[in-house]
Structure 1
């Protein structure tokens, strides 16, 4: 793996168009990361003009991933994790959290972004229990085949399947329901599904949702679709939500009491973890 001049990060793959914004890099910018370009930061700045505290919701989403992974590894005894649309590595990645609790945990990251692939492979070179697969999360049949996830994981045993901060970039909710049903049908009993998603509560939030969605669509990176609670809940067909159900990220088993009031973007993001019981 080639690195940049300081030997700190992989070089940008030749196939990457750095003149176009990218979902993974925009999230990285929202987290205060360094693996993004000016074109990505421009989109993030435009979003912040509409929703000044959007970065808080981005961090909430990451902190929720950390808490969910701790619960699954420590309390639920899960030892296989699939992080779909995983994005760029950052502090406290899924494999670091899970393997700190259970070193025998196997984690597979899946993304179709060449920049994500370059950074992920560099990070995971010396971790035999962690893998990266370049693939399309909207093609569950291919991902779940014996030649892809089936060669890494034991699909007859429980798996934690993550769709964290990614499904809201796809327009067709009916197709997403069918995709999620295919994944759930393939999971062994005792498996879990984690989803976080942009939410439009309506009322005063409706205009913000429309404006942020338009920024994402007009940027050329693909859309950002803020859905109703009912639409998001429908993505959990075939699995049972665990307490506290479909809720705001800061309210899903927080590590301590809330010390500050919620800001608007925090109310426009829902998260949920569900279990396949049979």
Structure 2
């Protein structure tokens, strides 16, 4: 088993900041103060977080109901909150298998307590870029069968990786393991405003003591999908990805967006 990295709880974490923006309670004052600084740069960040969480829930439901997915890998899953991946997938089929991957000790402690009684779900204490360890982990091999279709989720997480960690290459390594007919979900923080990109990136780099990547551009996300078949409605602000008609339209984020979509692994050439 991979050794868990030590996380200084006096340093903000992106996972706990996201939890606070969603209205959760699994965060500390240091996270809340970092969020307040973030809101000074990007005041609609709370709306962005809420819209992203709803996207995750919609896309998992679509994968389970419409595409028959019964295996899910959630890379950089973050803190458990309401309506997690396994809860949505297992509403469609109680036998659906879900593997969460995160090496933040707070995420692991809370996630493990949530999953202890669910034999079809596991959380792996592994850095999400360490795919060799992930794919060889006993809980992973118990739950995920690469000879069958798999849905791999990279939801609001690749911006936490610096370019040196190879976020695009991480997705490519995972896609190489997936059989045709599998699916990949990717969205990450982007902005058309270079000042917002630079200011948020610098703030998060300083606040998290370097445990951050960068806010990117739409073209960076589009490059990740170039070898996948993008499902309708294409690559969009995730607020616009098949919104539930019965839900009142949420306020949009303005300064930056979560941009991405759903891609299908095509037949091998």
- TM norm. shorter chain > 0.5: yes
- What's the Cα RMSD here? 1.9
**Paired residues of 1:199 and 1:229 also in contact (CA < 8 A):** yes
Q: Which runs of 5+ in 1 are unaligned?
A: 1-12
Is 1:184 the counterpart of 2:175? The answer is yes
Aligned counterpart, 1:264: 254
Aligned counterpart, 1:207: 195
Aligned counterpart, 2:265: 276
Detail structure 1 runs of 4+ shifted over 3 Å in the superposition. Answer: 257-263
Deviation string, structure 1 residues 213-242 (Cα, Å, up to 9, x no partner): 111011115234121222111122432110
- Between 1:129-138 and 1:71-80, the stretch displaced more is 129-138
Closer, same or farther: CA 197–173 of 1 in aligned 2, 3 Å? farther
**Paired residues of 2:47 and 2:252 also in contact (CA < 8 A):** no
Deviation string, structure 1 residues 73-127 (Cα, Å, up to 9, x no partner): 0000000001010000001000001101111100111101111111011001111
Q: How does 1:135-150 map to 2 (within 5 A)?
A: 135-145=126-136, 147=138, 149-150=140-141
**Paired residues of 1:184 and 1:238 also in contact (CA < 8 A):** no
3-state DSSP of counterpart to 1:168: helix
Deviation string, structure 1 residues 34-84 (Cα, Å, up to 9, x no partner): 000001111100001111110000111100000000000000000000101
Aligned counterpart, 1:8: none
**Paired residues of 2:48 and 2:252 also in contact (CA < 8 A):** no
3-state DSSP of counterpart to 1:92: coil
Closer, same or farther: CA 150–24 of 1 in aligned 2, 3 Å? same
Aligned counterpart, 1:108: 99
3-state DSSP of counterpart to 2:136: coil
Q: Distance in 2 between matches of 1:100 and 1:141?
A: 31
Q: How does 1:1-278 map to 2 (within 5 A)?
A: 16-145=7-136, 147=138, 149-172=140-163, 175-201=166-192, 205-219=193-207, 220=209, 222-256=211-245, 259=249, 262-265=252-255, 267-278=256-267
Q: Distance in 2 between matches of 1:89 and 1:166?
A: 15
- Between 1:41-50 and 1:207-216, the stretch displaced more is 207-216
Deviation string, structure 1 residues 174-202 (Cα, Å, up to 9, x no partner): 8222221111010011110001101122x
Closer, same or farther: CA 82–261 of 1 in aligned 2, 3 Å? closer
